[in-house]
């Protein structure tokens, strides 16, 4: 039994934290990504949209996932309300409610983004002293014309589509979501049930199904019954094998989602899978 007084134990923990802080590299607290960096991100995303036959795309951020809107349009007040973004030929357009819109306006100029306060994201107790915009009008402004569809670019939207069916299973399951050239869902196919590693699921079975469906791209997914979506070494190895096979087959592997209860891990969001750029 540890007879060390509680004060001494806490003091030792504090000393460890102080040592880590002293050894940590210095951080430039005033650094901000320049406007040119945000413009390059928007340009690359637009090129990818055009390659897949889309004019505009939608990204989404909230208190659970903060990535896509700040990445393209600067920081936003996601702790207060959900925000979205529409990207198209005219640039990046932040879509927010009233309060979130006012916060976004303070930061969007650094990215060259336009902020719209829309009815769809209005909080229940918000009273607009200005005329709220319609989402349809924002989409038209981003596209510069009428459009017949909009691409969903945030992996979370795909995860939310899969989680109710596969996220809470007691056994591990691996499957693929097959998409056409416009990233529309063709079908979902489970390929393995039980213990999963990089040898159980072979690229041959995956791309045979994808080719049979005439899929232009696929999204891999499997669940972790433990409730922890953190990827294992086998998960990374499996992903890498599928990426190599996809290059050979000419079928894009857009993401590998690991599902666990009501949460997920995205290989694309984490940067392990890099979006393909236009030639």
Edge-to-edge strand list for the sheet holding 263-266: 185-193, 173-179, 217-223, 252-260, 263-266
For the question of whether the overall pTM of this predicted structure is more than 0.75, the answer is no
In sequence order, which residues have a C-beta less than 8 Å from that of residue 53 and are 6 or more positions away?
181, 182
Residue ranges making up the domain that contains 65:
35-152
Same domain, 52 and 137: yes
Are residues 56 and 151 in contact, defined by beta-carbon separation less than 8 angstroms? yes
Question: Sign (positive/negative) of CA torsion 271, 51, 83, 39?
Answer: positive
CATH of the domain at 238: 3.40.140.10
Residues comprising the chain, all counted = 279
For residue 276, is it within any domain?
A: no
Flag whether pLDDT at 152 surpasses 80.
no
DSSP secondary structure letters along 61-130: EBTTB-SHHHHHH----TTTS-EEEEEETTEEEEEE-HHHHHHHHHHGGGGT-EEEEBSTT--TT---SS
Same domain, 128 and 42: yes
For residue 23, is it within any domain?
A: no
Are residues 266 and 277 in contact, defined by beta-carbon separation less than 8 angstroms? no
Digit-coded pLDDT (tens) for 191-232: 988 765 544 688 999 999 999 999 999 999 999 998 899 999
Residue 78 confidence class, pLDDT cut points 50, 70, 90 = low
How far, in Å, are 35, 70, 189, 228, 260 from residue 175 at the CA level? 40, 31, 5, 18, 14
CA 27, 32, 36 angle in degrees (round to 5)?
A: 140
The two tokens of residue 75 are 């920081």
Same domain, 65 and 78: yes
Same domain, 147 and 179: no
For residue 14, is it within any domain?
A: no
Same domain, 137 and 165: no
Flag whether pLDDT at 272 surpasses 70.
yes
For residue 9, is it within any domain?
A: no
End residue of a domain, out of 152, 182, 208: 152
Tell me how many domains the chain contains: 2
For residue 10, is it within any domain?
A: no
In sequence order, which residues have a C-beta less than 8 Å from that of residue 229 and are 6 or more positions away?
258, 259, 260, 263, 264, 265
For residue 177, is it within any domain?
A: yes
End residue of a domain, out of 134, 152, 170: 152
Residue 143 confidence class, pLDDT cut points 50, 70, 90 = very high
Same domain, 147 and 163: no
Same domain, 219 and 241: yes
For residue 162, is it within any domain?
A: yes
CATH of the domain at 131: 3.40.350.10
The two tokens of residue 22 are 């002293």
Q: Which of 253, 192, 264 is nearest to 220 (CA)?
A: 253
Same domain, 141 and 166: no
> Residue 130's pLDDT is what?
67
> Residue 33's pLDDT is what?
83
Same domain, 141 and 195: no
For residue 191, is it within any domain?
A: yes
């Amino acid at each position: 039994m540890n007879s060390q007084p509680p004060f001494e134990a806490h003091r030792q923990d504090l000393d460890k934290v102080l040592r880590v802080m002293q050894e940590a590299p210095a951080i430039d607290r005033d650094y901000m990504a320049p406007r040119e960096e945000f413009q390059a991100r928007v340009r690359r995303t637009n090129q990818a949209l055009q390659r897949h036959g889309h004019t505009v795309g939608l990204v989404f951020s909230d208190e659970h996932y903060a990535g896509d809107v700040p990445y393209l349009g600067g920081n936003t007040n996601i702790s207060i309300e959900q925000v979205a973004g529409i990207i198209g030929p005219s640039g990046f357009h932040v879509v927010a409610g009233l309060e979130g819109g006012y916060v976004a306006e303070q930061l969007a100029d650094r990215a060259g983004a336009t902020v719209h306060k829309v009815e769809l994201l209005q909080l229940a107790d918000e009273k607009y002293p200005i005329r709220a915009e319609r989402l349809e009008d924002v989409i038209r402004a981003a596209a510069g014309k009428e459009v017949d569809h909009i691409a969903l670019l945030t992996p979370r939207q795909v995860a939310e589509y899969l989680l109710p069916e596969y996220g809470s299973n007691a056994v591990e399951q691996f499957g693929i979501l097959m998409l056409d050239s416009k990233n529309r869902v063709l079908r979902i196919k489970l390929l393995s049930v039980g213990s999963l590693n990089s040898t159980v699921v072979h690229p041959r079975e995956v791309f045979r199904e994808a080719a049979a469906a005439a899929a232009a791209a696929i999204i891999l997914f499997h669940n972790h019954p433990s409730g922890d979506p953190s990827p294992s070494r086998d998960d990374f190895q499996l992903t890498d094998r599928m990426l190599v096979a996809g290059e050979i087959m000419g079928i894009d592997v857009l993401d590998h989602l690991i599902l666990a209860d009501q949460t997920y891990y995205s290989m694309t969001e984490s940067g392990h899978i890099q979006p393909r750029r236009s030639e």
